[in-house]
Amino acid sequence: MRVALGSDEEHDVVAALAERLVALGHEVVRVARHEQWPEVGQLVGAMVAAGEAERGITCCFTGTGVSIAANKIPGIRCALCVDAETARGARRWNDANVLALSLRLCSHALAGEILDAFFSTEPDADTAEAVARLEHKGAPSR
């Protein structure tokens, strides 16, 4: 699988993520190495939305900024995950296609656990219907 990986700073956790992805057999495309968090999230999201990468990973200090930025791209479902179960749920119930991580919170071990959960979980059968409702413009009717 081709994975877009972006971070707003060089960090040992980002390097470890890239190494782990390669070890798992994925092709890693490093993007936005010297950009700020808005560009990181948007560039990774744009690559996934355009089909240039099947999934993406975005990183910044809290993970919040890159997540918000990525989610501005149509078709992107970026989830900020701080543990493996959240990453598993983001894939299972939301078909998240971009993972956001906090460089402040993630150790190498935790980042690896989150990565493994995100890449080994497939969406549930009924998730596609729920995700399709996201394409509806405007608030849901009551």
Q: What domains, with CATH codes, occur in the chain?
A: 2-134 (3.40.1400.10)
Provide the pLDDT confidence category of residue 128 given band limits of 50, 70 and 90: confident
Structure tokens at 80: 């900020």
Beta carbons within 10 angstroms of residue 46's beta carbon:
20
- Reported pTM: 0.92
Q: Is 81 among the catalytic positions?
A: no
CB 86 within 8 A of CB 118: no
pLDDT single digits (tens) 78-106 = 999 999 999 999 999 999 999 999 999 99
From the candidates 60, 78, 81, 106, give the one annotated as an active-site residue. Answer: 60
Provide the pLDDT confidence category of residue 142 given band limits of 50, 70 and 90: low
pLDDT single digits (tens) 11-63 = 999 999 999 999 999 999 999 777 899 999 999 999 999 999 999 999 999 99
Amino acid in position 48: V
Write down the pLDDT at residue 32. Answer: 76
